[in-house]
A and B are shown apart, each in its own frame.
Chain A
């Protein structure tokens, strides 16, 4: 999964390089959402603080 997200980020950079604005914007948004979902998957431990 992590490697796929890195490849997605690389694809975003390639789209930017080639001047595909709409595609680059969409890939950026997808990559950002994928990072948030991956974080949600891993953020399972309770924080040792009391607010």
Chain B
């Protein structure tokens, strides 16, 4: 695996991690509770980042060939298609004139619009990577940076698991418009918040 391909994989993971950290910042810094579709888009981004992460894990164990590259980036494309469908649907839900959208816009666009852009970029980058597949197996030493990027992705997934559990409490599904952390409400004995019937 050449250093360039290694750097592309690490960059893909770190870029996705940056977006996911931004989403957590919007959740806890701006006090915006993510709706179910927002959470699903986070899952899509994580699954998309698993493609390059898998490539780094394989490279750490030995040479990787064109089949390895194709398999890992195909996983990213599949996940990005699912995530793009979800974010595209949320964009369409709020596309009607006069609709304020869900949550506050960041840099002029709502988070689900940014998510749609991210998924399109993931598909494009993965497709370009598959266009320039190596002709023979490549090996390169996978350093600390690559391992740290995979570990960072794992940490962000774990944090999201805890965050969504705090938000949903002991319920199977999130409400359409969450307005509080249900687990904390339940532990405090506060009355349950009613689900508002509008679109997320």
A38 within 8 A of B: yes
Given contacts A6-B160, A35-B40, A36-B82, contact A48 B93 (CB under 8 A): yes
Scan A1-17; emit 1 where CB is below 8 A from any B CB, else 0: 11101110110111011
B161/A32 in contact, CB under 8 A: no
Binding site for B on A (CB under 8 A): 1-3, 5-7, 9-10, 12-14, 16-17, 19, 21, 24, 28, 31-32, 35-36, 38-39, 41-43, 45, 47-49
Tell me if B's interface is mostly helix, strand, loop or mixed.
Answer: helix
Given contacts A45-B199, A48-B95, contact A32 B173 (CB under 8 A): no
Given contacts A3-B165, A19-B57, A49-B96, contact A43 B89 (CB under 8 A): yes
A3/B157 in contact, CB under 8 A: no
A13/B53 in contact, CB under 8 A: yes
B173/A16 in contact, CB under 8 A: no
Specify which chain A residues have a CB less than 8 angstroms from the CB of B53 in the assembled complex.
13, 16
B95/A16 in contact, CB under 8 A: no
A24 to B172, CA, bound (A): 25
Specify which chain B residues have a CB less than 8 angstroms from the CB of A32 in the assembled complex.
47, 78-79, 82
B9 within 8 A of A: no
Give which listed residue, B58, B85, B92, B157, contacts A47 with CB less than 8 A: B92
Selected A-B contacts with CB under 8 Å, 25 pairs: A1-B173, A3-B162, A5-B43, A6-B160, A10-B158, A14-B154, A16-B50, A16-B57, A19-B58, A21-B58, A28-B47, A31-B47, A35-B43, A38-B36, A38-B43, A39-B82, A39-B85, A39-B86, A42-B37, A42-B173, A43-B89, A47-B89, A48-B96, A49-B92, A49-B96
Pairs A-B, 10 closest by C-beta atoms:
A6-B161, A3-B165, A48-B96, A42-B36, A2-B164, A16-B57, A10-B157, A16-B54, A1-B172, A45-B199
A48 to B96, CA, bound (A): 6
Give which listed residue, B47, B58, B172, B174, contacts A9 with CB less than 8 A: B47
